[in-house]
Amino acid sequence: MPVHTPRPGFFRRVLRHAWGDLVPLVRGEGAAPLSHREAQLWGLVLASRHVPHRLRRLSAEQGGGYAVMVQEWYADRAGEEIELYFEENRPEPAKAALPDLRPVGGLEPTLFGLALLVLFYWTYSRTYPSLGLYPDLWVRLGSADAGAILSGQWWRLCTALTLHADGPHVAGNAAIGGVFIWLVARRLGSGAAWLLTMVAGVLGNLFNSLVLGVHHDAIGFSTATFGAAGVLAGIAPFGVGGGLHGMGKGPWFVRFRRFTRTAVVPFGAGLGLLAMLGAGDGKGNIDLGAHIFGFASGLGLGALTGLAATRSGLPGGRTDFRLYVAALALPCAAWAWAWLA
């Protein structure tokens, strides 16, 4: 509650320009001195209203801090200006809508899924004569053989994602793919991230088989890795995971322009990644088509997911867990189909 001191006489205010501390007038007697930042703010408010003032640094004996000194002639006006400023700039928590920047999905589900990928490679790359299981049998049965796929062996679209040529191949895909899947999981949740990654990999293999023809064959999780990169680029313009905003408000052409401008950077970053990691060494060891189609599939899935999330929100905990189980069950079901077909 402001404490108003007795108003001095007219001649005293005119002939003797006494300077007094404004803090007791605004905050009451016995109020603590201002910090340097507070004193600068008060000075800025008074300067904007053309009120003469001075900033005074108090000694240690006076309690330290700063005082804002004004002439007695302007004391009441200065106090009113300061009070009016804080009244107009009072925060309103009820109207604040800050985005929740906490990550949606944790790291553990991603590490578990990648561990299963590496464990499967370690399992099928060994020979079990008593069971009649050999590494080349798994490859013949599950690779993305375009001719076999287009003949109806659709399980290969998924099983090919779990096969790798050697240890460095699976380790590289796990390391790079893990980063992108984790980044998507932070925005959508682990279940949605893994399911979108697997579906993008399946679609990438499908489009690659359709374009390159029946003589094409490939293996590797890299198609899904670039699918995850595409999903990450696709959801970025919607602000998913950091406050859903979609294309904002306003006329449709303004929203479209805003959306396009927001999408340029993540899309360009994805293309740059594709150029750096997806083109290979020029010796034919990298399936560039699978990388391109995987990225394009992830980009489309990410855009659709971002649009759906802005309207319906992100999946809850139980739904996300079910999506995660479905993502892990997808290659298992594909392999079961392969062995039983």
Residue range 104-115, pLDDT digits in tens? 677 899 999 999
At residue 210, the pLDDT reads: 92
Q: pLDDT per residue over 81-103, tens digit each?
A: 888 888 888 766 555 554 554 55
d(CA 206, CA 150): 9
d(CA 328, CA 226): 18
pLDDT at 113: 94
Question: Which residue range is the domain that position 56 belongs to?
Answer: 10-90
Q: Is 199 in the same domain as 320?
A: yes
Q: Is residue 279 a part of any domain in this protein?
A: yes
User: What pLDDT does residue 93 have?
Assistant: 57
CATH number of 272's domain? 1.20.1540.10
> Do 31 and 21 meet the contact criterion of CB atoms below 8 Å apart?
no
Confidence at residue 81, expressed as pLDDT on a 0 to 100 scale: 87
Q: Which helix (H) or strand (E) holds 214?
A: none
pLDDT value of position 263? 55
What pLDDT band is residue 272 in, cutting at 50, 70 and 90? Answer: low
Percent of residues, the chain, with pLDDT higher than 90 = 27
CA dist 328 and 321 (Å) reads 11
Which of 31, 56, 90 marks a domain boundary?
90
Statement to judge: residues 121 and 86 lie in one domain: no
Mean pLDDT across the stretch 261-290?
59
Buried/exposed 207-232: b ≥16 CB within 10 Å, e otherwise: bbbeebeeebbbbbbbbbbbbbbbbb
Give me the pLDDT at residue 169, please.
86
CA distances from 145 to 126, 137, 332 (A): 22, 14, 19
Q: Do both 114 and 63 map to the same domain?
A: no
What does pLDDT average to over the chain?
Answer: 80
pTM above 0.85, yes or no: no
Q: pLDDT tens digits, residue range 135-189?
A: 889 999 999 999 999 999 999 999 999 998 888 889 988 988 888 899 899 888 8
Q: How far apart are CA 124 and CA 38, in angstroms?
A: 68
pLDDT tens per residue across span 194-252: 999 999 999 999 999 999 888 888 898 989 998 998 898 888 777 655 544 455 555 65
Predicted pLDDT of residue 2: 46
pLDDT of residue 31: 80
Looking at the chain, the number of H-run helices and the number of E-run strands are: 14, 3
Do residues 58 and 132 share a domain? no
Domain count, the chain: 2
In a domain, 103, yes or no: no
